[in-house]
Structure formats: C-alpha cells, structure tokens
Structure 1
C-alpha cells in the first residue's frame, strides 16, 4: 500500500497553519508594495542549461531535474552518464535565476530601474532535517538597473520595515562586499584557485572560531604565510572596540590596500539607510554592522552582500547581495542587480499575528433532520452579511466539534433546528 505521508522534506498544512502563513504573507506583500516593489510570477520550471550555468553554487547540485519527454529505455541508458542529455528542464532552486531570465525576456516592457517582488515555492534535493525542507517558500525583493548605494539602502529599509510590521523589531543587517573579501584574501596571499575552499572555511568562523578556521586552512594546504597573515588579522579585529557603522569602522575592520571605491559604496549605504530611518548618518547607531568575514555561499554575488540578524535567534533570518553579472549571461549586456530574501520558513514560526478583525466566522451546528434548502438559505444570509460560515452536523461530542472549529479560526456558533430562520439564530462566542 502506498504511503499516505507527503514526500520526505515536504509538508501538508492544516487549515489553521495555512491561514497563519497567509496572514504573514499578506503583511510581507503589503509592506513591499508600500516601498514601491511590484510583484511578478515566473514558472516553477526553467531550462536545465539555465539552472546549471555555474551561477547557483552548490544549489545547482540540489536541483530536481525533469526527464526529457520521449526517452525510451535505450535512450536513458545511452544518456546515463550525462545529466544534460537526460533532462531538459528542472524545478527552480531559487528565485534569482528565474528573475534574471524574466528581466532579459521583458526588459523592453519594464522601467529602467525595476523593483520586483517574488513570493513563491522553490525546490532543492536537500537531506531533510529539522528546519531544512525540499520544498519551501522564498520571499525576494530585487532592484535591477541601479548600480548606486541607493538600491541596497532601499532593500534594507524595506526589509527592516517588513520585519517590524511582523512584530520582529530590533533586527539588524550584517554587511560585507565580496570585492573586499577577495581583496583581503589577495593581500593575505591566498591564490585565486584556492579561494572557493578558503571562503568555505572562513564561513565557519562563527561556529569554530578563529583558531579553528586557521587550523582548517592549514589542513587544506594553505601556505604558512597566508594562514599566519589571516590569523594575525583575525586577532586584530577581535581586539577592536565596537564602533557604529561608518567609514571609521569599515576601514578599521579591513587591512590596508582595499579599494577606496568599495569602502565609499558601503559608507553610502549607511548614509542612505540613516536618512531613511531619520537618523543622523554621521556617528549614529544604525541597525547595520560591517562584517569583513561575512561570505554568503552563492557564486553569483559580485559586490555587496548582507544577512539579517535578530536578537531572538542565533541564525540568520535572510540575506542577499549584488549579482551584477547574472543578467548579462541571458541578455548579452550587463545590468546591475541586487536582491534581498526574507527566510519565510524561519520567520513564520517566530511571528504572532492576530487574525484580521474582520467579519465573524460562524459555525452552524444543525440537526440531522434540517432540510438542505433551509441550511443553505441560512448560510447564504450570513455570508451576505459578510460572515464566514461553516455547516456542521451535530455530533455526540459537541465540545470536540466546537474546539476544532475554534482552532480553525471560527469565532462563534449557532444551533439550527428544522424551520429556523435568520432571526432565530442565537450566535454564541466560541471562546
């Protein structure tokens, strides 16, 4: 007998859970729209070659690929060693690659600076575990066509405003720049070909500490000179007192020799965010922190990268960055682009939003002998008044029936006997 459970790493949502998720999504959509972002939709599938173009990092290895139509057993055997011959489509593993393709397809119909919202499920062939799913929701905002710090500042302020609206006040954003990270590794003496592995190790800094990072780099074959230079720098950074986000903090957290233009771009983000939040941009305590060792794993990032931190949890609630080179792969012409994604599956469990105080939600508990026509007439009358209505036949365990209805968001009930009319209904609260 086939299993009645959903596929591993995927979930069913009961009515109350689904309603809660939709309330959170409604707030996210409303706040993003208020900040000038327009929602789009793209197909759940993209071409195999696009999903495996070398821009998705490790996520490309987690793509669910779709078998080419029309392949017989001999065709499958002949193509068994080449996934590109077996598959021509795949399920999207994120929303950024589809967005780049969308922009390349519709650029002539879009404004010169396009602000988009995408809220949709994605699929990855993860090993299922707590908090890690094979199907999950992503909530992305992106700005294409703006290379200035204004774009990052708009994304950051819209994201912080959205988290505030969800009741998650006190969030902050950690910021770095992949160009600054590359410059540091170059100054420390790590060869270009070693840097992908070096970044993987540096990304573990919060988990294994500075000594663990340096030890792992030595185990990976890093030169003593490069490992010693990084160790010395990590020690210097750890000893620095906290400073507010700004030029002094950024320069103090970077070795000498990093391009001034990179620093100026980061400073510009802070000034713009400060202006948006009504803070004095010089020396103010902004909800920003420069982190020279923030990595972000996606291979398509070309500049600024950021993550959301919140005091209630130890993990990130989302992140993003610049990917100025991606759209050019589809368009043949580079277009500046930057995006920010809220980790919906992480925040939905942290949010407590009351159900909208709109119309009453009523359960009509009826006797078995009440004619169907009467029940539907009563239901129609209440619906016309703006109520949400469910019909339930009376059971022996009336208490259990009402408790289930309350869990599903219903607020009142009435008992219905044969011959009852609208004015006869006595609505009683469920709680």
Structure 2
C-alpha cells in the first residue's frame, strides 16, 4: 500500500480521467460499491486463489475469550472482508438493484481493491481496478462491445497496437474431455495449463503426471501440445480456430468466437482483426463460464488487463441466472507505462511574491488567472529562486510570474518554466 506525492497523484488522475471519458463515450455508467462485502460472499468458492488473499475484518463485539473460541472457524471470527476484486461486489449490487436498472446494464467501476499479495513491481496489496461490465446480454455483442471500448481506451492513452487474446472456458472443458480427463480433475489440470508459457509442454506433462492425472489423458494431451505451434495464438477466423484445437469442437462455440472477432473489427473500422485465439488461455477466476480474454500490447510481455463471461455468478445472489461479462484494465501496469504522460495542455502558474504584497492584491491576481482557466499556486519569494522553480516544474506547473505591490492582474508577465 503506497503513498502518492502530488505529481504522481496528478498523473494517475489524468490517466483515470481518460479511461472514464472513453468508457462513458461507449455508453457505460459509473457506479460505486462499499469497500467491504460479507465474508460468506467473498469466500463462496468463485474467486479462485484471490479468496486466499482476502483481508478479513474481525467481527465487532468479540472479547478475547470469544476470539480464542472462534479461532478455528473464520466464518465466526470474521463477518466482513475488503473486496479483492470488483466483480463479486457488482453481482451483489445488481441483485440488490435490478428493478432500478435497465434490462441490459453497462457499468463502470473504478476503485481500489485489496489482496494480501507479496508486493513486487506491478503487484501491490492495494491497487486500482478499472472495470466495465455488461449484464443482461448473452450474445457475442456484449464481448465485442467490451473489447472495442477497451482497445479504444488504450489508443486514447497513447498505447496503440493493443490486441485481445481470446479463448472460451467451454473450449477448454471440451478439449480436456476429448483427451480423457474426468470432470473432477479438470480444474487442477487447468491450473497446470495456465503455466504452459512458463514451463513448456514437457513441464505441463511432468506436473500432470506427478499429480496423478489420468495417464492416458496426459499422454494424449502431451502429444497434442507437442504439435508445431500448438501453444501459439492464431488469427481469429474459423479455419484457424479449428486447426488450433482437436477435431470435433462444437460449431456453435466456434461461431460465437468468430462473431466476436468480426464485430470488433467492424467497430474498430480495420481490416485486420485486433483479436487472436489462444487455445490455452485459462484465467484463474472460478466464476468464468464462457468467453475469456486478456489485453496484450507489443511493448510488454505481460497482459494489461483481462476478463470474461460469468453467467452463473449473479444467480447465486438473485436466484435467477443473468448473463454477465466484464473487462478490467490493469491500471497500475498501464500507469507505469505512461510515466512521462504530459498534462493535457493544462495552464498552471506559480505566482511568486514578496512578503510586502497585500493579501488582497495577491488573491485578486490569483482569482483573475483562475477565472481564465489556469491552476495557480502562491509562493513567497525565497532566497533560492532556482530551487522553487525546479520544484514547481516537478509538480507539473508550466509557468511563473512575479507579483509586486500595486500590480494589476493585467500587468502580470508569465514566463515559461524550463
């Protein structure tokens, strides 16, 4: 969890302003949910490994004896927890307010979340997520809208050339079934597949063997993995998708994926589809039920965001299944890439004055500049003027002016900060 000095905070807010503006331009509306949710909701078995990283909140009113008695039962010891993502809160929000929302609801959530991570570059215990979700639309249009809005946002941030890697949990489940993995062992097989890019086909086969997976299924899967280019993402067309998976995949799944790619290309007005099919993209969240995707950019090896369809989650709270799909931009990773992003033409001025200048004259000069759209800071003239101006420039100010007694606002001479 980090502090942010003024210049860093301003840079983060500029990036967030671009993200918000682009999301709203695509018809999404921003909501806000509490930072805490009920313990049982956060630990319902749908958050994957993130549930293990949740910060739990001790139940109120417990004395030392009660804490000792409840130490073996977290559900008694704690009744709330800090949210570890924004999807679980959104599902609860929609179940609570469905009657007040449109039939197809497009939401924006931009807020901090908390995970008990081992901190490292790009991975923190408190970080901001920027989510857009569509609830109530089961068609491929929803995925295509999310991808188009996200790629447009990336462009607006100056990161053109982004690509969305796409797979479908139904593809993975069908594929593992075709190799002979039982339903009960498939979740653990997916955990191993998620490491394919790090440990390679031999590593995957070795780990599955060590875990005691069905030997014949492991052998068949290993043979498939060692095919030339099997683990590489492919262009987003029906022919390419069919070549990347075993024979016999259901036609409706392929048609769904192809439809997404074509719709995104149309939305982006490009001939080359900015979407690729990755048959071994897994994503670890337990609530995904269909399409899953990650945002890639040629400037970095890691993903800049991700999401997927989670049609079964809202039904846990509402009692009726509602289709839902979301995409989250990795704000902390993106803001690190935009470290030198300039303030978008903002006019910001430091007014340097001697102690003798009347306060009324200072505030009149400041008010005139503020009324003209400038950001203004008052600074008393120090002995070391150079240090003051260097600090002002580091804080994002673009100009300065000296204020003397009796000077009118029109007489200010604004000079650029180097």
TM norm. shorter chain > 0.5:
yes
Quote the offset at 1:242 in angstroms: 8.1
User: Which residue does 2:289 correspond to in 1?
Assistant: 302
Aligned residues between the structures: 417
User: Which residue does 1:400 correspond to in 2?
Assistant: 387
390, 396, 399: which is aligned to 1:412? 399
Quote the offset at 1:195 in angstroms: 1.9
User: Which residue does 2:70 correspond to in 1?
Assistant: 79
Conserved in 2, the CA contact under 8 Å of 1:67 and 1:89? yes
Q: Secondary structure at the residue paired with 1:54? A: coil
106, 111, 128: which is aligned to 2:119? 128
Quote the offset at 1:423 in angstroms: 3.4
Q: What aligned pairs does 1:115-154 form with structure 2 within 5 A after superposition?
A: 115-154=106-145
The reply on whether 1:260 has 2:247 as its aligned counterpart is no
Separation (CA, whole Å) in 1 of partners of 2:348 and 2:6: 14
Q: Secondary structure at the residue paired with 2:209? A: helix
Separation (CA, whole Å) in 2 of partners of 1:239 and 1:396: 68
Conserved in 2, the CA contact under 8 Å of 1:139 and 1:344? yes
18, 24, 27: which is aligned to 2:9? 18
List per-residue Cα deviations over 1:177-215 (Å, max 9, x = no partner): 111101111111222222222111111111111111111
List per-residue Cα deviations over 1:353-384 (Å, max 9, x = no partner): 331224x2111111223333332232223222
Q: CA RMSD in A?
A: 1.6
88, 97, 118: which is aligned to 1:106? 97
352, 355, 360: which is aligned to 1:368? 355
Q: Secondary structure at the residue paired with 2:382? A: coil
Conserved in 1, the CA contact under 8 Å of 2:233 and 2:276? no
User: Which residue does 2:368 correspond to in 1?
Assistant: 381
Separation (CA, whole Å) in 1 of partners of 2:232 and 2:183: 32
149, 157, 180: which is aligned to 1:166? 157
The reply on whether 1:189 has 2:176 as its aligned counterpart is no
The reply on whether 1:355 has 2:343 as its aligned counterpart is yes
Q: Secondary structure at the residue paired with 2:336? A: coil
Quote the offset at 1:394 in angstroms: 1.4
User: Which residue does 2:309 correspond to in 1?
Assistant: 322
Segment drifting more, 269-278 vs 124-133: 269-278
Runs of 5+ in structure 1 lacking a partner?
A: 1-9
148, 154, 158: which is aligned to 1:157? 148
Q: 1:71 to 1:294 in 2, by over 3 A?
A: same
The reply on whether 1:177 has 2:168 as its aligned counterpart is yes
Q: Secondary structure at the residue paired with 1:238? A: coil
Runs of 5+ in structure 2 lacking a partner?
A: none
Quote the offset at 1:258 in angstroms: 2.4
